[in-house]
Amino acid sequence: MQAKGRPVTSQKLLTGRAGRATKSEARIRKTRKLIAHVLIIAFGSLMLYPLVWMLFASFKPQDEIFSSPGLLPQTWTIDNFVTGWTGIGYPFSNFFLNSFVVAATCVVGNLFSCSLAAYAFARLEFRFKPVLFGLMLGTIMLPFHVVLVPQYILFHTINWTNTYLPLVVPKFLAVDAFFIFLMVQFIRGLPRELDDAATVDGCGPIAVFWRIILPLMRPALAVTAVFTFIWTWNDFLTPLLYLTDRSKFTVPVALNAFLDSSGASSWGPMFAMSLLSLVPLFVVFILAQKQLVSGIATVGIK
């Protein structure tokens, strides 16, 4: 909107010529905000619809889940939760505990090993560093199914099948190149002067890592922790392959036991237990939310 041929800066547009917002400009601003909000809410609802559907489906009796077109149940029942809790022969809390133990240990493993590896790549000098860095990046490009069978053969030979060790021990050996790379980029953004100052004061490399770099890496550590937790919690194939004892199942494998593609699956209990399994993920995400957003946003930029 131009007035009287004079170029109007955006600031003047917002605040009017006299520094105060004129009525029509304020109305336009409000309308734009309203439209933006409506669009975002609509899109958000679209994204959330499957979850909302699952929420209501877990309260419907089994024969109503797929046959009634409406979202809300015609008959509310908590049968699915009751059946689902003990459906597989063990109370579902057992599987939640298993998943939590595995996920938490993997988080600790990743935080420990990936931060050390990243520090080495970002700050230390050693022979063959470019080769090793290239190899590390190469593992990200390797499709999972290529290593599936050799890994299984390895773990079977050392008798680690039907234990949690194949799921957890690799995390302590810095296998997640994605997080190593994330942290490398983050550390590169930290000024070397801090390192030099610490060295002058008598710190060796380990002390520099522990006292200077690690405390500054909190956002990257939060990103690693949250994503490791979520991905490990949702991982289906690895626990399926290595865990054969029903009592050791994690949540995704236990949910799979409700399905029977050659017969009638127990959809109701499965939806009910899936809903419950989302709760820990939400809690973890909310707790780490602040650090997570700042971590993703500031990687490499300081």
Task: Report if residue 267 touches other proteins, rule: CB under 8 A.
Answer: yes
Q: Does residue 130 belong to the site contacting other proteins (CB under 8 A)?
A: yes
Asked if residue 8 binds other proteins (CB under 8 A), the reply is no
Regarding 200 and contact with other proteins (CB under 8 A), the answer is no
Per-residue binding string, other proteins, 207-246, x by CB under 8 A, is: -----------------------------xx--xx--xx-
Which CB, 24 or 265, lies closer to other proteins?
265
Residues between 143 and 172 with contacts to other proteins, criterion CB under 8 A: 148-149, 152-153, 156, 161
Distances (CA, A) of 171 to 48, 165, 177, 224, 275: 32, 10, 11, 12, 28
Enumerate the H helices of the chain as residue ranges: 10-15, 23-57, 79-86, 92-123, 129-141, 144-157, 165-168, 177-188, 192-200, 205-207, 214-216, 218-234, 237-242, 251-256, 267-298
Binding of other proteins at residue 256 (CB under 8 A)?
A: yes
Among the residue ranges 106-114, 265-273, 275-283, 287-295, the one whose residues contact other proteins (CB under 8 A): 265-273
Binding other proteins (rule: CB under 8 A), the pick from 259, 279, 283, 293 is 259
Q: Tell me the window of 7-15, 121-129, 210-218, 282-290 that interacts with other proteins (CB under 8 A).
A: 121-129
Q: Is 204 in the site for other proteins (CB under 8 A)?
A: no
Query: Distance between CA 224 and CA 218 in Å, rounded?
Result: 10
Q: Which of 113, 266 has the CB closer to other proteins?
A: 266
Neighbour-count burial for 113-151, b at 16+ CB within 10 Å, e otherwise: bbbbbbbbbbbeeeeeeeeebeebeeeeeeeeeeeeeeb
